[in-house]
């Protein structure tokens, strides 16, 4: 049996991340609360947005504030430290402030996913009093016309920018993300420029999937081709690689007379353990290992995309639901076509993606294959020209 000293020594070795320690001990370190599938935007490619009529047709209901707080108490009692609050658009709930305030008081490290359009003076006061650790805002275009095309209302652009003004004034880690489809594929530079006015953290997403059951979406019609997707990916990579190169040159110049910490350099070069090889190995992330998702109707999922694999924490108990989750994957394996593919190790071949695209966990998705092939071939071309 390991003593506390042995555990401390293992942690100080710095070759294992906090998430890996949690995954190997089956601790639900990171959770996501999807407060609602409703949204004030009507994004044509969204795979989870539901209207009140859609919700009613499913015969399900959103959890009440009391139920969310019960889940939150159970979560923190079982080791959850990081909690992401998302939707739909979470601020659309009339009781958002009540839920957020009580969860914040419990001691979580809280993140919020939002489109920022509903952030006003009221929410600025709330977040100033109880600052979230991070806020992630999705940007859909660089102008009103693009927002009208994607979200259904050009005024959403103005309200998003106003919301970003409020958020940038908070003591929080602000990130702006951009999802690219045909409507905004030529706006990468402009969207990044907009984002840079509020934060140095800008991320892109070009993978757009078919909707989960019960959701109506135009995802297939508006998502980019593999070539268009990788064009955007590589362009953004090159932009930040050039910034890093310039910053490194400045740092090298400033540090050329500074003492060199060889031990630190050795530590930084070591391969870190992220716990990704923990069962179920078919998942190449930390879902169902140290992370989970609670859906708007109270189901515990590995992530938002795994809509059909779920346990029920409010019925069976949080710990029991978490402990049972890995068993949901006992019969799920990578398709043989994936295992023998030359791009297998550098491909987003998640069973959840296959299921939303094909309706089966073990049927290969042409969409995923095309993205993997294009990305690997293009990156190989770039390496060969360097």
| Residue 250 within a domain | no
| Residue 110 within a domain | yes
Number of independent structural domains in the chain? 1
Distances, alpha carbon 205 to alpha carbons 188, 300, 349, in Å: 11, 25, 16
| Residue 365 within a domain | no
CATH of the domain at 68: 3.20.20.70
| Residue 253 within a domain | no
What does the pLDDT read at residue 138? 97
DSSP-derived 3-state class of residue 331: coil
**Torsion from C-alpha of 80, 322, 84, 367, nearest 10 degrees:** 140
56: Cβ contacts below 8 Å, ≥ 6 apart: none
| Residue 238 within a domain | no
What does the pLDDT read at residue 51? 86
What does the pLDDT read at residue 212? 76
Nearest-angstrom CA–CA distance, 376 and 97: 45
What does the pLDDT read at residue 54? 85
Longest Cα separation, the chain: 68
Distance between alpha carbon 345 and the CA centroid of its chain, in Å? 21
| Residue 4 within a domain | no
Q: Which two tokens stand for residue 182?
A: 């045909």
Distance between alpha carbon 373 and the CA centroid of its chain, in Å? 23
pTM, entire model? 0.89
**Torsion from C-alpha of 39, 41, 47, 53, nearest 10 degrees:** 50
Digit-by-digit pLDDT tens for the chain (386 residues) are 454 445 444 444 446 688 899 999 999 999 999 999 999 999 999 988 888 888 888 888 999 999 999 999 999 999 999 999 999 999 999 999 999 999 999 999 999 999 999 999 999 999 999 999 999 999 999 999 999 999 999 999 999 999 999 999 999 999 999 999 999 999 999 999 999 999 999 999 999 998 877 777 888 999 999 999 999 999 999 999 898 888 887 777 766 655 444 344 434 445 678 888 999 999 989 999 999 999 999 999 999 989 889 999 999 999 999 999 999 999 999 999 999 999 998 898 999 999 989 999 989 999 999 999 999 999 888 877 75
Nearest-angstrom CA–CA distance, 131 and 124: 9
Nearest-angstrom CA–CA distance, 9 and 70: 36
| Residue 386 within a domain | no
DSSP state of 225: P
What does the pLDDT read at residue 255? 67
- Domain span at residue 19 reads 11-224+261-330
| Residue 358 within a domain | no
């Amino acid at each position: 049996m390991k003593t506390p000293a042995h555990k401390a020594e293992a942690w100080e070795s710095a070759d294992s991340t906090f998430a890996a320690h949690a995954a190997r001990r089956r601790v639900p370190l990171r959770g996501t609360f999807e407060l609602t599938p409703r949204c004030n935007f009507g994004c044509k490619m969204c795979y989870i947005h539901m209207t009140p009529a859609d919700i009613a047709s499913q015969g399900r209901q959103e959890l009440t504030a009391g139920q969310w707080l019960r889940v939150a108490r159970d979560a923190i009692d079982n080791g959850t430290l990081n909690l992401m609050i998302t939707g739909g658009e979470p601020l659309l709930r009339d009781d958002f402030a009540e839920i957020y305030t009580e969860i914040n008081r419990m001691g979580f490290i809280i993140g919020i996913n939002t489109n920022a359009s509903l952030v006003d003076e009221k929410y600025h006061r709330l977040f100033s009093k109880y600052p979230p650790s991070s806020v992630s805002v999705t940007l859909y275009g660089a102008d009103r016309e693009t927002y009208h095309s994607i979200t259904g209302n050009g005024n959403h652009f103005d309200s998003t920018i106003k919301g970003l003004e409020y958020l940038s004034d908070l003591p929080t880690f602000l990130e702006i993300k951009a999802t690219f489809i045909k409507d905004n594929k030529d706006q990468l530079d402009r969207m990044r420029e907009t984002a840079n006015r509020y934060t140095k953290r800008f991320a892109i997403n070009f993978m757009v999937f078919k909707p989960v059951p019960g959701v109506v979406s135009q995802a297939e019609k508006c998502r980019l081709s593999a070539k268009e997707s990788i064009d955007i990916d590589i362009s953004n990579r090159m932009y930040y690689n050039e910034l890093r190169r310039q910053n490194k040159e400045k740092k090298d110049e400033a540090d050329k007379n500074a003492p060199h910490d060889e031990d630190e350099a050795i530590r930084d070069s070591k391969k870190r353990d992220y716990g990704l090889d923990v069962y179920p190995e078919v998942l190449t992330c930390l879902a169902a290992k140290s992370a989970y998702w609670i859906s708007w109707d109270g189901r515990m999922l590995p992530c938002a995309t795994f809509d059909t694999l779920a346990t029920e924490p409010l019925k069976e108990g949080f710990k029991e639901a978490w402990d049972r989750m890995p068993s949901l994957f006992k019969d799920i394996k990578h398709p043989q076509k994936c295992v023998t593919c030359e791009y297998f190790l550098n491909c987003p071949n998640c069973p959840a993606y296959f299921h939303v695209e094909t309706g089966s966990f073990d049927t290969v998705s042409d969409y995923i294959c095309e993205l993997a092939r294009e990305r690997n071939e293009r990156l190989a071309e770039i390496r060969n020209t360097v």
